[in-house]
């Protein structure tokens, strides 16, 4: 199950890899390095992980998104904030999706309503 959760996390993260930046709002809170710590699928199953076990997402101020998988391999793309609570994601195939985001303190929740998956992340303190 851990492998399934990790793959789903990376699939969601990879879908975010080819977006572009748009507006302020939640942008300043989103910028930084995050590590997934919990994955919930459509069936309601939740799997928790230690920091770094599912990789990292890093959102930079210039719109760059760096995705690091658990093995340390990186993919670089960009992100686009549509509103305070929505990111537009464009997959490598060109397919676009919207992901709901919620930022509370050092926690980030990414919900893909189309795939009925939620990933909760914790900010990495550098």
**How much is the pTM?**
0.74
Q: Is the pLDDT of residue 14 over 50?
A: no
Q: pLDDT for 52-78, tens place per residue?
A: 899 999 988 887 778 888 999 887 777
Query: How many domains are contained in the chain?
Result: 1
Give me the domain span that covers residue 92.
Answer: 2-123
Counting every residue written for the chain, the total comes to 126
- Give the CA count within 13 Å in the CB-facing half-sphere of 94: 0
Task: Assign residue 73 the CATH number of its domain.
Answer: 2.40.128.280
> What proportion of the chain, given as a percentage, has pLDDT over 90?
38
Q: Report whether 86 contacts 62 (CB < 8 A).
A: no
Mean pLDDT of all residues in 22-51: 84
- Which segments of the chain does DSSP mark as H helices, in order? 2-15, 27-30
Q: Is the pLDDT of residue 110 over 80?
A: yes
């Amino acid at each position: 199950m851990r492998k399934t959760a990790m793959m789903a996390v990376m699939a969601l993260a990879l879908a975010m890899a080819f977006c572009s930046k748009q507006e302020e709002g939640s942008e300043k809170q989103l910028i930084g390095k995050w590590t997934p710590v919990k994955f919930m699928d459509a069936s309601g199953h939740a799997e928790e992980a230690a920091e770094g076990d599912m990789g990292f997402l890093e959102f930079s101020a210039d719109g760059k998104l760096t995705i690091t998988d658990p093995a340390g391999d990186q993919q670089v793309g960009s992100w686009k904030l549509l509103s305070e609570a929505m990111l537009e994601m464009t997959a490598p195939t060109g397919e676009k999706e919207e992901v709901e985001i919620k930022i509370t303190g050092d926690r980030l929740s990414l919900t893909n309503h189309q795939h009925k998956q939620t990933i909760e992340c914790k900010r990495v303190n550098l």
